[in-house]
Structure 1
Amino acid sequence: MYNERYRPQFHFSPKENWMNDPNGLVYFKGEYHLFYQYHPDGTKWGPMHWGHAVSKDLIHWDHLPIALFPDELGTIFSGCAVVDYGNTSGLKDGDEDVMVAIFTQHEEGNQKQSIAYSHDRGRTWTKYHNNPVIANPGLKDIRDPKVFWHEDANKWIMSLACGNHIRFYGSSNLLEWEHMSSFGEGYGAHGGVWECPDLIEVPVKGSEEKKWVLIVSINPGAPNGGSGMQYFVGEFNGKSFLPDESPETTHWADYGRDFYAAVSWLDTPTQEQIWIGWMSNWQYANEVPTHPWRSAMSIPRVVTLMKTENGYNLVQTPVKEIEQLRTRKTIEEHDVITHKEKPLKLSGVGPLLEMDIEVKEAQADTWGIHVRHGESQTTIAFHLKKGQWSIDRTQSGEVDFSTEFPSKDIAPFEKEVNKVQFYLDTSSLEVFLNDGESVITELIFPSQEDVEMELFARNGEVAFDRVKVTNLKGIWEKEREL
């Protein structure tokens, strides 16, 4: 177990069978809860349940039994969980604060919102006797509720994905909901259905300012194909979301092919906004060459905003807790210059690693990193004249399981490239440019475990202050019982 080919070693994955969207992210009594879309009877998408895991540090996870099962109202689609500290629902029974899950139940042609509650830190659940709490109003798609307590409005706020827009509902007790407003028709990208919304208040780096950010997953319609995530920055007054920018403006959270359905944890002890995403794409999610499990989650990331000349830009950085996986095995080079005739090769570095690059001066048209696994190669490249960077995984290893998988995925960057940080696991690559101002997340299925890095430059040279590779240890050394 956990030694299978392509098994992620420091990303969460289920022991076996199918997983997709993260659900019910909440921190309670020292535990980060991760529920997730789960099909316990196969490695392809099927009748949805809620799987469940908990962590004390967002890095090491303990598997728990399935939390929610389908019933006569349908299967259990995506949703959220809250701790009802004020017992607004009246569902508390005893001394333990009640945890409430809010989720979509799916029958063919009929999606509605239901709740369940737990008195034992999410270990066992009781479905509410009067489900659904929001009946279907006549829409084909109405799903993925995300709920939080809004202090100023003194009510629970729900964001709900409704095909081509988001509806906002309010409730004083989690049981009775009022539709307050809608947002999205004519705004942003509409190449596919809107899913998995999240409305969060995010700090702006270097200031006391905070802005509201509405997160919307979209499938298909992402900039590099298939599934992706867009976001809108603005204000929320307890009833309506008011965007700062014009309807045609579109912001993308991650330009990779494999970061989708990310939502944030509630009640984090640091009060940071931390989210996690499903590392896959609906174009090929059912076909990726893994067994006996399918899918993994991203590294949890802290979300902030950066104010730019063009508005606000979402910034993502890996949680600091991942630093505990660093080993003493490192390779570090200082004051390095590369050009066409002089690449920098770093051998024997794999297969789990963190790489940090600090750029001193770049006069080349293009520079980048070849990540080589034996004969296979994934290339991260920075096209400075074009103001773009890319990941090419067309030669990354096993790519022929889907015609949609081999890809060269492109992202813009605002100014110059100063820092590059990336995390390489057995079957994924997460790259953070300029301290997370731009991110690309990609699955790869390399032919070998041995890794060699090569920094290259074309049409000019690049000087680096530092190039550092740190080997990481895995999180599954032993199975713990909780």
Structure 2
Amino acid sequence: MFYKGYYHLFYQYNPKGSVWGNIVWAHSVSKDLINWIALEPAIFPSKPFDQYGCWSGSATILPGNKPVILYTGIVSPDPENAQVQNYAVPANYSDPFLREWVKPDNNPLVGVHTENPSAFRDPTTAWFDGGHWKMLVGSSRKHRGIAYLYRSKDFKKWKRSPHPLHTKAETGMWECPDFYPVTPRSEDGLDNSKMGRGIKHVLKVSLNSTRYEYYTIGRYNRVRDFYVPDNTSVDGWAGLRYDYGNFYASKTFYDPIKKRRILWGWANESDSQIDDVQKGWAGIQLIPRRIWLDPSGRQLVQWPIEEVEGLRGSELHMRNQKLDMGVHVEVTGITAAQADVDVTFSFKSLEKAKSFDPEWKNLDAQDVCDSMGSTIQGGLGPFGLLTLASKDLEEYTPVFFRIFKAEDQKLKVLMCSDAKRSSLAEGLYKPSFAGFVDVDLSDKKISLRSLIDNSVVESFGAQGKTCISSRVYPTLAIYNNAHLFVFNNGTEPITVDSLDAWSMNSPSEMN
């Protein structure tokens, strides 16, 4: 949230170690969403209604610029893990850092859910509509994901709606739900309470059983409090995702200063717990992203916030570099282990695009990428970047495209970030992440931007239509021994129309 000149980030944190447990709400503040000041925890277990844990939730700004936190508390230990919904308010509204938070005695606001007490958590940012505040709480029953809706006139007494806002069978527990308005008419964000003609809504849920998220775009019936996804949104595990890689438990908020909606995502680990203990840390927040509705209305688009460009240092620019099959060209003059790379590829013809195998119809993009990789020759692709690469390519994380022709002769564009060769270390999680890209290739061009940061590669295909974040741990391609290449392993020649790359400086960590 934004309050009195500062952005506030709250996040789940264990102050006693780099493994799960002892979870508090850590708290950091920033002027620009890039350079942060770490403060003391905002919330930690201290009351009967959260004595066994303070879990995730959201912040809402009430009238009079008064922030309030909604969060899940655990009131009984295993095996029941009964969960309730609580709130906290600042002890001193005049403190722009909001260092101290108070938990009023009328907690919990919402008591134990009798149907499934251990699957009832993560209240959303509330919105005001029709004289009531409204919020969602994630849950499940018999493997059916549920977003329960609650109403309140005063933000203190909450009553559950007779029916969920939305529910879907065979999706399991819905964690960290998010619900917010968007418009196809503008890239500007909207406040959560914004309503009106032409406004659609996004419902995002994090799937506990798969550890990934999906979202739908649809219509919110404010009178009946129903949400109905559009027929262009797949409602289920095969639905659209913010990010097809290491990305979970995300939240958005409305930034009133720059009138944008910001998406925060957590990159979970690919390393082992033993290694996490040795490193002394685990998990990382990804770069904040601006998010908006594509003019087609079918999907969201994401892009790194503009403030990240303030970290750019030395730069390199490449133009009209031809890549025949089997060619890779090094991008020099920048720090490849910590870089921002924005490249546009072009090709003269779509004729060499291979047919999309009918047997892949029932496979998701990740399975297709896993079976093909970046080294298997194609027609139009694979082409893209080799990030965090060792000099002789013993290690590298390729981010690339393959373009296919489907049976209806329509093009099918696959984007991959393949960690299989990212590290020589044993025991790491090294998957082939992938997603399909809904992009018009009539101009025979496609873009790719990657933010590379030592153990993280965040990639944005086709100006942010498909995004993939990979968590990798190279042993050779580290610091000054990391390299960056553009490559093509397809029979159709590829041209790097433009490549702009920058070494990236580190943000400030202030206390």
What TM-score range do you get, normalising by the shorter chain? 0.7 to 0.9
CA contact (8 A) 2:121 2:175 kept: yes
3-state DSSP of counterpart to 1:446: coil
Q: Deviations over 1:282-330 (max 9, x none)?
A: x86745646222211011011111144xx51111111111111111x11
Partner residue, 1:124: 100
Q: Alignment partner for residue 148 of structure 1, among 120, 123, 126? A: 126
The letter of the residue matching 2:214 is Q
Partner residue, 1:22: none
- 1:418-429 pair list within 5 angstroms: 418-429=446-457
Q: Is 1:314 equivalent to 2:311 in the alignment?
A: no
CA distance in 2, matches of 1:398, 1:57: 37
Change in CA separation of 1:384 and 1:169 when aligned onto 2, cut-off 3 Å: same
Q: Alignment partner for residue 373 of structure 1, among 371, 384, 389? A: 389
Partner residue, 1:258: 246
CA distance in 2, matches of 1:383, 1:45: 38
Change in CA separation of 1:266 and 1:248 when aligned onto 2, cut-off 3 Å: closer
Partner residue, 1:470: 502
Partner residue, 1:30: 5
Q: Alignment partner for residue 275 of structure 1, among 263, 282, 285? A: 263
How far the C-alpha of 1:60 sits from its partner, in A, is 0.7
CA distance in 1, matches of 2:273, 2:178: 25
- Name the count of aligned residue pairs: 430
Q: Alignment partner for residue 234 of structure 1, among 210, 213, 218? A: 218
CA distance in 2, matches of 1:247, 1:211: 16
Q: Alignment partner for residue 397 of structure 1, among 396, 420, 423? A: 423
The letter of the residue matching 2:474 is P
Change in CA separation of 1:278 and 1:362 when aligned onto 2, cut-off 3 Å: farther
3-state DSSP of counterpart to 1:384: strand
Name the one with the larger strand percent. Answer: 1
Change in CA separation of 1:128 and 1:47 when aligned onto 2, cut-off 3 Å: same
What is the identity percentage for the equivalent residue pairs of Structure 1 and Structure 2? 26
CA contact (8 A) 2:120 2:137 kept: yes
CA contact (8 A) 1:305 1:314 kept: yes
Change in CA separation of 1:60 and 1:267 when aligned onto 2, cut-off 3 Å: same
- 1:149-164 pair list within 5 angstroms: 149-150=127-128, 152-163=129-140, 164=145
Q: Is 1:382 equivalent to 2:401 in the alignment?
A: yes
- 1:83-102 pair list within 5 angstroms: 83-86=61-64, 97-102=65-70
Q: Alignment partner for residue 331 of structure 1, among 288, 308, 316? A: 316
Name the one with the larger helix percent. Answer: 2
How far the C-alpha of 1:76 sits from its partner, in A, is 0.3
Task: Please say which of residues 103-112 and 203-212 is displaced more in the overlay.
Answer: 203-212
Q: Alignment partner for residue 408 of structure 1, among 432, 436, 451? A: 432
CA contact (8 A) 1:228 1:254 kept: no
3-state DSSP of counterpart to 1:322: helix
CA distance in 2, matches of 1:390, 1:433: 10
Q: Is 1:178 equivalent to 2:144 in the alignment?
A: no
Greater C-alpha radius of gyration: 2
Task: Please say which of residues 248-257 and 37-46 is displaced more in the overlay.
Answer: 248-257
Partner residue, 1:19: none
CA RMSD of aligned residues (A): 2.3
3-state DSSP of counterpart to 2:284: coil
How far the C-alpha of 1:340 sits from its partner, in A, is 1.8
CA distance in 2, matches of 1:351, 1:215: 32
Q: Alignment partner for residue 111 of structure 2, among 116, 131, 135? A: 135
Partner residue, 1:480: 510
CA distance in 2, matches of 1:40, 1:398: 31
CA contact (8 A) 1:288 1:401 kept: no
CA contact (8 A) 1:202 1:273 kept: no
Task: Please say which of residues 128-137 and 201-210 is displaced more in the overlay.
Answer: 201-210
Q: Alignment partner for residue 115 of structure 1, among 57, 64, 87? A: 87
Q: Any gaps of 5 or more consecutive residues in structure 1? A: 1-25, 87-96, 222-226
Q: Deviations over 1:41-89 (max 9, x none)?
A: 1110002210000111111111000111112323100011223224xxx
How far the C-alpha of 1:410 sits from its partner, in A, is 1.8
3-state DSSP of counterpart to 1:43: coil
Change in CA separation of 1:341 and 1:387 when aligned onto 2, cut-off 3 Å: closer
3-state DSSP of counterpart to 1:41: coil
How far the C-alpha of 1:453 sits from its partner, in A, is 1.9
CA distance in 2, matches of 1:147, 1:428: 29
How far the C-alpha of 1:372 sits from its partner, in A, is 3.8
The letter of the residue matching 1:480 is M
Task: Please say which of residues 126-135 and 456-465 is displaced more in the overlay.
Answer: 456-465
CA contact (8 A) 2:246 2:268 kept: yes
Change in CA separation of 1:32 and 1:387 when aligned onto 2, cut-off 3 Å: same
- 1:281-296 pair list within 5 angstroms: 286=273, 289=276, 291-296=279-284
Change in CA separation of 1:288 and 1:413 when aligned onto 2, cut-off 3 Å: farther
CA contact (8 A) 2:347 2:495 kept: yes
CA distance in 2, matches of 1:184, 1:463: 46
The letter of the residue matching 2:432 is K
Partner residue, 2:293: 305
Q: Deviations over 1:107-147 (max 9, x none)?
A: 33200001111023421011110211100121231100012
Change in CA separation of 1:451 and 1:362 when aligned onto 2, cut-off 3 Å: farther
CA distance in 2, matches of 1:279, 1:175: 34
Q: Any gaps of 5 or more consecutive residues in structure 2? A: 188-196, 350-378, 405-411
Change in CA separation of 1:31 and 1:248 when aligned onto 2, cut-off 3 Å: closer
CA distance in 2, matches of 1:312, 1:358: 24
Q: Which has the higher contact order (CA 8 A, sep 6+)?
A: 1
Q: Alignment partner for residue 36 of structure 2, among 46, 55, 61? A: 61
